[in-house]
Amino acid sequence: MSSCPACLTDAIEEFLSYQQGVRCLSANTLAGYSNDLGKLTTLLDGQRPVDSVTKEDLRYCMGELTMKGSAASSVNRFLAAVRSLFAYCRRFGYIEINPALEIHTVKQPKQLPKFMTPSEVQELCAAPEKTSLLWEARDKALFQMFYSSGCRVAEMAGLTLEDFSQDLSSAMVRGKGGKDRRVFFTPTASSALKEYLSQRQQKLLCSGMDTAKEPVRSLFLNNQGRALTTRGIRYILSRYSGVEGTNNPVSPHAFRHTFATALLSNGADVRMVQEMLGHSSISTTQRYTHITTAQLVKTYNQAHPHGSLEGQVPSMAGEDGNAGDC
C-alpha cells in the first residue's frame, strides 16, 4: 500500500483538498462532505489509522445517528460521504478493502416533490407588487425567472450580466458538476428583468461604489449593492411566502419542481425536460411523472360521479417518488 495518512482526520483533510483542487466541487458540496465526515471523527476516534475502520464501526455510526434523531435522508447522506472517502483511500492504496461497500442505505419514506399550483405561483409572483416588503422590481424578476427557467437557487445566484442573450430571453448557467446549459425565460420574465436592471444601475450609483474599478458582475444585488447570496434568496422567498405574503411557505426549489411538473403535465418530452433541468440521469426527471399521475388520479376521484365512493382509484403516493438529488 502507499504511504497512508497518519490518522482518519488526516485522510479526511486530504480527501477534501482533493475534491476541491482536482474535482473542483462547489463550496456547498464541500461543506456537506466536511459536515458529514466531521460526524465520523466525532463518533469514532479521529486519531485512529484509516485502515483500522471496519464495517462494524460504520454500522455503529449509522445506528448512533439514527438514535439521535437524524432523518433517514441525513443518515444516507452521511453514508454517501463515507463511501466516497474510503473509495478515495482505496484508490490511492491507503486501504485494501472499502469497509463502506457492504453497508446498506436506510429506507426512506417515499415522498413526491412539493410543487405549486398555477394559482399559487401566480399569487407568489404577484406578492412583491402587492406587499412591497423588500425590493419590488428585483423580487418580481427573481420569482418570474425561477418559474420560467427551472434554475436551482445556486444557479440563479451565480448569474451575471454576461451570461444573458442580447434580448434577455435566455442565459447560460453552470449547474452541478460544472456542467453548463442554456435556460430560457418567458416574455413576462424578460420584461420584469428589464425593469429590475434599470433600478439595479441606480442602486449601484447611489451606493457610491466605483464600478469602473470594482465592477459588480452578479445579476441580483442586495440593498447594499452587493451580490445576492443563496441565503439571501431564501430569505426573500421566506418573507413573501410567509405570513406577510401568501402564507404558504415554499423553498426556491419548489419553483424548480413546479417548472418540471408544468412542462410534463402539458405534454413536454421527458428527455427535453431532463436537458432543461440539467439532470445527469433521466430517472431523476421521471420522478415528476409520478406527480402528474397523482394529479390525474386526484382529478378523477373528484370529478367522477362515483369518485368519492368506495372503490375509487387509489392514490399514486406510494410509488417510488423519492425526491433524491435534483
| Active-site residue, selected from the candidate residues 48, 174, 176, 181 | 176
Q: Is the pLDDT of residue 162 over 50?
A: yes
Question: Would you call 288 a catalytic residue per the annotation?
Answer: yes
Q: Is the pLDDT of residue 294 over 70?
A: no
Question: Would you call 176 a catalytic residue per the annotation?
Answer: yes
Q: pLDDT band at residue 313, thresholds of 50, 70 and 90?
A: very low
Higher pLDDT, 290 or 238: 238
Please give the C-alpha separations between residue 118 and each of 115, 212, 249, 261, in angstroms, as whole numbers. Answer: 10, 43, 16, 11
Question: Would you call 256 a catalytic residue per the annotation?
Answer: yes
Pick from 274, 294, 271: which is nearest to 111 by CA?
A: 294
Question: Would you call 181 a catalytic residue per the annotation?
Answer: no
| Active-site residue, selected from the candidate residues 33, 94, 240, 288 | 288
- pLDDT confidence of residue 320: 41
Q: Is the pLDDT of residue 145 over 70?
A: yes
CB atoms within 10 A of CB 306: 9
Higher pLDDT, 154 or 25: 154
Q: pLDDT band at residue 235, thresholds of 50, 70 and 90?
A: very high
d(CA 138, CA 144): 10
Question: Would you call 39 a catalytic residue per the annotation?
Answer: no
| Active-site residue, selected from the candidate residues 48, 55, 253, 298 | 253
The most confident of 25-29, 108-112, 242-246, by mean pLDDT: 242-246
Asked if 154 and 177 touch (Cβ cutoff 8 Å), the reply is no
d(CA 235, CA 153): 12
| Active-site residue, selected from the candidate residues 39, 138, 140, 256 | 256
Q: pLDDT band at residue 299, thresholds of 50, 70 and 90?
A: low
Question: Would you call 253 a catalytic residue per the annotation?
Answer: yes
Average pLDDT of 257-267? 81
Structure confidence by residue, pLDDT tens digits, 164-187: 988 898 888 887 767 888 888 999
Structure confidence by residue, pLDDT tens digits, 98-135: 888 888 887 866 665 677 888 888 899 999 988 888 89
Q: Which of 157-171, 213-227, 238-252, 276-290 has the lowest mean pLDDT?
A: 276-290
Higher pLDDT, 211 or 192: 192
d(CA 154, CA 26): 10
Q: Is the pLDDT of residue 295 over 80?
A: no
